[in-house]
Chain A
Amino acid sequence: MSTTIAPQRSGPAPESRRRQILRLATAGSVDDGKSTLIGRLLHDTGSLPTDHLDAVTDDEGVADLAALSDGLRAEREQGITIDVAYRFFSTASRNYVLADTPGHERYTRNTFTGASNAHVAVLLVDARNGLQVQTRRHARIATVLGVPHVIAAVNKIDLVDYSAERFAEIEADLAELATQVGIDHILAIPVAAKDGDNVVDRSVNTPWYTGPTLLEYLEGVELVAPSPTTDELRFPIQWVSRPTDLHRRRYYGRLAAGRLHVGDSVTILPSGNSSVVTAVDTLDDDREFAVAPLSISIELADDIDVGRGDVIVSAAETAHAPVLARELDATVCWLSDTPLHAGDRVALKHGAATVRATVQSLERRLDPETLIEQVGPSSLGLNDIGVITLRTSSVVVADTYLENRDTGAFILIDESSNDTVGAGTITQAREVVPGKATRNDIKWHPSSLIRSERWQKTGQRGATVWLTGLPASGKSTVAVALERELVSRGRVAYLIDGDNIRHGISDDLGFSPGDRAENIRRVGHLARLFGDAGVVSIASMVSPLRSDREIARQLHHAADLEFIEVHVSTPVTECERRDPKGLYERARRGELKGLTGVDAPYEKPENPDLRFDTTGEDIEELAGRVLAVLVERGVLDG
């Protein structure tokens, strides 16, 4: 650790020392002139190399500025922008990154990408046509993305004879749109991008317009950046080095918020372990402190378990903590041709962490035409913006998007195609303690009986035996024998069979991974209620994924109920030989997709309470082994 820190400069920075990168995104319908406007901005600021200009100038010397950023052959052939083009220019005071985004509805996902980091969104409006569906949709996207400044370039003002009246009409429509999407004000600038009116230079054709030109606006717009404080520290871990003889273990990542000093006490989430920072490297030199958004690496005083996806925050009592969330309310832009339904399962990438998530519910869908929100839609289609609730398979260290754009945003990935199918912003993150009511609009209605009284008076103690294993492994056979034995001993016991449950409670579910997870979730809750009532439930469920079984287990533990996980570990060859329902045969013939053990994974329990293989075993004896565990746990008397 080397350099000493020079004393902090006091007082405000002199103007000349600031150099900000302003990110600008254009949006609007096809043919509104977005690409031309970008070309004009580059041209009139002298940022356009002559060879680039020559490349788009025809034999008569007429330059097609739109072609500058429509860099793909197909774009030039069709005269539309398909994908975001990034262009750059600098003025004396600022560096600009321009994202020229597509207007075509089919490529809205690219508009979303282009606008996600923007400080300023410029909505292009054709003066002749006024506001279009895409203008509204893009204004909405800009607000979902929290773009700090939204303005409108009312283009082709020359084609309405520089009419002040026409401009005023559009200004009024924009004011109404601003109210609808919840922005204070949308500044409108009359421009003719083709000729350059009011883009960089003030136009003599619009004497009635007294506001700034586009460039004047961009040069002057205030980029507010809150001063990062230690209390807001968010350091998501991207990569951890292995210690070597020469070097200790190091944690690498980019500060998403706040500042970090050598000597700071920090907490690692979600584990909650604490340590002290012993070294900070900010890349340009070993230093003793760093601020967001720098990429850094650090060392900690203690050798504790920290991995990719963990987030380091301040351990100070005054620190603002993120939520260790299992449930997220989010606004998403759906980017895939395949619609999103409730119950679907996706991978959610948030910071450096990727977790599985199930779509709990679709709350609303925005109609881009009317901006009216439809409540309880059955699905979200390509380019739809919707409000959804996601339940994650493990903890997400979350902030809301309003609080932090990095720790409040995520993408959704389809696990079979690996495509990015959605992008979202967190509006509310909830810590879900399984078994506790987490919705503040619904309260648990207490019974007048407490559990101990109920169990004592009825002589029944509830518990759940959860049998998991491949199809045809013998789960249900054991379950039936166990149920019979318990009832013969005078206990209330009930078999909850994975198939039976689909005749009623889950008759709305199919066999997609999301639906299967939902089915298991419902059985978990059902068994918990039965257990509370004093029933020993015997759930016989393939339940292939650890995360789903873990949710069921946690539900029981949170309710202080015994949960006995039994892994029926019969080998797949034996299961396939039995195959009473012909499932394996159909799967092998390719008629059945996603059969656990054939073309879908089965995650074995790591530490089940009991594990046995039913091959050649006496079923009564196996049921007896489960009974023995129930006795051991005090559910049954010996």
Chain B
Amino acid sequence: MSAEPVVDDLTDDLTDDQRVDDQPAEDVDHVAALRVLESESVHIIREVVAELERPVLLFSGGKDSIVLLRLAEKAFRPHPLPFPILHVDTGHNFDEVIEFRDRRVAPTPDNPGGIRLIVASVQESIDSGRVAESTDPSGSRNRLQTRTLLDALEAGGFDAAFGGARRDEDRARAKERVFSFRDEFGQWDPRSQRPEPWSIYNGRIRRGESVRVFPLSNWTETDIWRYIEIENLDLPPIYYASEREVFDRDGILLAVSPHSRPRDGEQVSTEWVRYRTVGDLTITGAVRSRATTIPEIIAEISDATVSERGETRADDRTSSAAMEDRKREGYF
């Protein structure tokens, strides 16, 4: 009975003061569905804080983690966020994303303390010999992130890590539980996931074990954008179309940067592009676009025939089980 979202009622209750005369009915419609998703996610976030000792939120500066951070702030307001955020910095970032990150955690009138940010550096892991950088010129730092992440979780004594992963991203992600149990090595065993009926989550772990928690499991890419729109969330500018210098590598449009330079035969051109996802510069492709506003972006992804990861992530193309393998190792 109550598991059935009372959408009609939500529409009444939630949109009365958002409704303006010229707002199309369809928009009002989506708001109610988003409030149901929001409510589910907040319930998950609070459950973690109530049941586990030391949670942390993994923050990449991408749209999903921006939505996740907003939900986490809402879950505890008017009190400040009761846990820090963790950025795994590959060293190959878009400058705009790092600037955004630092702006996002800065003190505000509502939160004079700001948000506590922990930066875990892949470069440091390489320098200290914890991981070795691939000598393969097409190799990215994506796989290396896992070690840095696990080290940072251990160093902080974190027993729960929130991630912004969505089940619609990838078929291995579609198999994830909301509470994803990890052993003392951070490993995922898809065969022995805890049954998760209703919305009752089992957060019990032993010392050394941890859970990865995915409050955005049931959100889609479109939901994320619609939520950014209704919440008026600030984003790194690379999500909006502008002219940038890019080159084509195996069908992926890469930005020209100190970390990603064209090789012989790869032509640099200036094009109107934007990013559909934020990751490492070396593997994240841009999409040709003129969309400079959120409604334009929503229209564009509604028409897109290629998925977000398919269009923009070079690393997932290497093997049909790339994501599953990385998850088993401890990636989120």
Q: Is A113 an interface residue (CB 8 A)?
A: yes
Q: Is A86 an interface residue (CB 8 A)?
A: yes
Question: A95–B321 contact, CB under 8 A?
Answer: no
> Please, how many angstroms separate the alpha-carbon atoms of A247 and B321 in the complex?
49
Q: Which of B29-37, B91-99, B253-261, B280-288 contacts A (4 or more CB under 8 A)?
A: B29-37
Q: Which of B238-289 contact A (CB under 8 A)?
A: none
A3, A52, A226, A409: which contacts B17 (Cβ < 8 A)? Answer: A3
> Please, how many angstroms separate the alpha-carbon atoms of A88 and B173 in the complex?
13
Q: Is B25 an interface residue (CB 8 A)?
A: yes
7 CB contacts below 8 A, A to B, read A13-B8, A49-B310, A52-B307, A71-B170, A74-B191, A86-B218, A409-B197
Residue interface mask A1-15, B partner, CB < 8 A = 1? 001011011000110
A117 to chain B: which residues have CB within 8 Å? 3, 197-199
> Please, how many angstroms separate the alpha-carbon atoms of A74 and B192 in the complex?
13
Residue interface mask B1-16, A partner, CB < 8 A = 1? 1111111111111101
Question: A257–B29 contact, CB under 8 A?
Answer: no
Which residues of A are at the interface with B, using a C-beta cutoff of 8 A?
Answer: 3, 5-6, 8-9, 13-14, 16-21, 49-52, 55, 68-74, 76, 82-88, 90, 95, 97, 109-110, 112-113, 116-117, 119, 148, 223-228, 234, 238-239, 241, 244, 246-247, 250, 252-257, 281-285, 287, 289-295, 297, 308, 335, 347, 349-352, 403-407, 409-411, 413, 418-420, 423
Question: A420–B202 contact, CB under 8 A?
Answer: yes
Closest CB of chain B to A638's CB: distance in Å?
53
B12, B202, B306: which contacts A8 (Cβ < 8 A)? Answer: B12
Residue interface mask B79-108, A partner, CB < 8 A = 1? 100000000000000000000000000000
Q: Is B168 an interface residue (CB 8 A)?
A: yes
Closest CB of chain A to B197's CB: distance in Å?
4
Complex: chain A residue closest to B197, CB-CB = A116
> Please, how many angstroms separate the alpha-carbon atoms of A68 and B175 in the complex?
12
A76, A287, A349: which contacts B200 (Cβ < 8 A)? Answer: A349
Closest CB of chain A to B8's CB: distance in Å?
5
Q: Is B109 an interface residue (CB 8 A)?
A: no
> Please, how many angstroms separate the alpha-carbon atoms of A255 and B4 in the complex?
12
A73 to chain B: which residues have CB within 8 Å? 321, 324
Question: A257–B8 contact, CB under 8 A?
Answer: no
A116 to chain B: which residues have CB within 8 Å? 197-198
Closest CB of chain B to A230's CB: distance in Å?
13
> Please, how many angstroms separate the alpha-carbon atoms of A423 and B200 in the complex?
10
B195 to chain A: which residues have CB within 8 Å? 109-110, 112-113, 335, 411, 420, 423
Question: A418–B202 contact, CB under 8 A?
Answer: yes
B172 to chain A: which residues have CB within 8 Å? 71-72
Q: Which of B46-54, B58-66, B136-144, B154-162 contacts A (4 or more CB under 8 A)?
A: B46-54
Closest CB of chain B to A263's CB: distance in Å?
16
**Contact A247:B13 (CB < 8 A) given known A69-B171, A227-B6, A406-B2:** no
Tell me the dominant secondary structure on chain A's binding face: loop
> Please, how many angstroms separate the alpha-carbon atoms of A264 and B256 in the complex?
60
Question: A254–B1 contact, CB under 8 A?
Answer: no
Identify the 8 closest CB pairs spanning chains A and B, nearest first.
A51-B310, A71-B171, A49-B307, A116-B197, A6-B16, A295-B42, A418-B204, A19-B29
Closest CB of chain B to A260's CB: distance in Å?
11
Q: Is B22 an interface residue (CB 8 A)?
A: no
A419 to chain B: which residues have CB within 8 Å? 194, 202
Q: Is B78 an interface residue (CB 8 A)?
A: yes
Complex: chain A residue closest to B41, CB-CB = A295
Question: B320–A20 contact, CB under 8 A?
Answer: no
Question: B46–A247 contact, CB under 8 A?
Answer: no
Question: B190–A72 contact, CB under 8 A?
Answer: yes
A227 to chain B: which residues have CB within 8 Å? 6, 9
Question: B11–A18 contact, CB under 8 A?
Answer: yes
Question: B9–A284 contact, CB under 8 A?
Answer: no
> Please, how many angstroms separate the alpha-carbon atoms of A351 and B12 in the complex?
27
Question: B200–A411 contact, CB under 8 A?
Answer: yes
Question: A254–B43 contact, CB under 8 A?
Answer: yes
Complex: chain A residue closest to B10, CB-CB = A291
> Please, how many angstroms separate the alpha-carbon atoms of A49 and B312 in the complex?
13
**Contact A50:B174 (CB < 8 A) given known A254-B43, A403-B1, A406-B3:** no
B115 to chain A: which residues have CB within 8 Å? none
Question: A55–B9 contact, CB under 8 A?
Answer: no
Closest CB of chain B to A579's CB: distance in Å?
31
Complex: chain B residue closest to A108, CB-CB = B195
> Please, how many angstroms separate the alpha-carbon atoms of A238 and B2 in the complex?
17
B2 to chain A: which residues have CB within 8 Å? 228, 234, 255-257, 292-293, 404-407
Q: Is B315 an interface residue (CB 8 A)?
A: no
Question: B174–A18 contact, CB under 8 A?
Answer: no
Closest CB of chain A to B285's CB: distance in Å?
12
Given contacts A252-B46, A347-B204, 5 further A-B pairs with CB under 8 A are A85-B167, A109-B195, A295-B38, A295-B40, A423-B198
A405 to chain B: which residues have CB within 8 Å? 1-3, 198
Closest CB of chain A to B14's CB: distance in Å?
6
Closest CB of chain B to A350's CB: distance in Å?
8
Q: Is B305 an interface residue (CB 8 A)?
A: yes
Residue interface mask B166-196, A partner, CB < 8 A = 1? 0110111111000000000000001101111
Question: B1–A226 contact, CB under 8 A?
Answer: yes
**Contact A409:B39 (CB < 8 A) given known A17-B25, A72-B172, A252-B75:** no
